[in-house]
Amino acid sequence: MTAKGVKRILRRDGSPLVIVVPDPGSGNAASGVGMANDRDQLRVTIGRALARLSVANTTEITASVLALWKQIAVRLTPIIGAQGVEVLFARALHLTSSAFPWLSGPGGSSVEDFQSRLARQEPFTAEAAGSELLVTFTELLGTLIGGSLSAHLLGPVWALPKTPSQEENSA
């Protein structure tokens, strides 16, 4: 039995991923508090995408987060350019580092720096930081191009994420 407001999703290996979900009966959905609900829904969506890819070790969690990131970059580069994607990533990394200070540090704010820092964390921390970065990036993108277009462009990434091995095979 699951506590109210908590949803359990099973990862590919059968281990649970726990996501806190707002109670639909709490009135938030109808009260016009859209931004908080959008962020909560985005967290759930990204959590599900990671749950399909991740297992309990940091190496595979890091690979899964980066597989999602690569799909995002491929979809956005024709729209906002490679430099636009890099700038948004750097900004998302900076904002995410307020919750995960180890994300900032010497070396920079490239995807490779993020990968290196993420790979040194415990699995739970790596998954939480990776998810938060993806949520923050998606929100920043929404402020740039609009939520509807952002959802349209990134929806396929969250819906059917490729595993890291599928990414390697398609490269």
The pLDDT score that the predictor gives to residue 166 is 52
* Cβ-contact 21, 44 below 8 angstroms: yes
Report d(CA 26, CA 100) in Å as an integer. Answer: 30
- Distances in whole angstroms, Cα of residue 31 to Cα of each of 6, 37, 41, 43, 82: 21, 10, 16, 20, 39
The pLDDT score that the predictor gives to residue 171 is 56
The pLDDT score that the predictor gives to residue 27 is 35
* Cβ within 8 Å of residue 68, ≥6 positions away: 46, 49, 50, 53, 134, 157, 161
The pLDDT score that the predictor gives to residue 158 is 80
pTM for the structure as a whole: 0.68
List per-block mean pLDDT (blocks of 10 residues) for the chain, which spans 171 residues.
42 48 35 49 75 70 89 93 94 93 82 90 88 92 89 83 54 56
Domain locations in the chain as residue ranges: 6-170
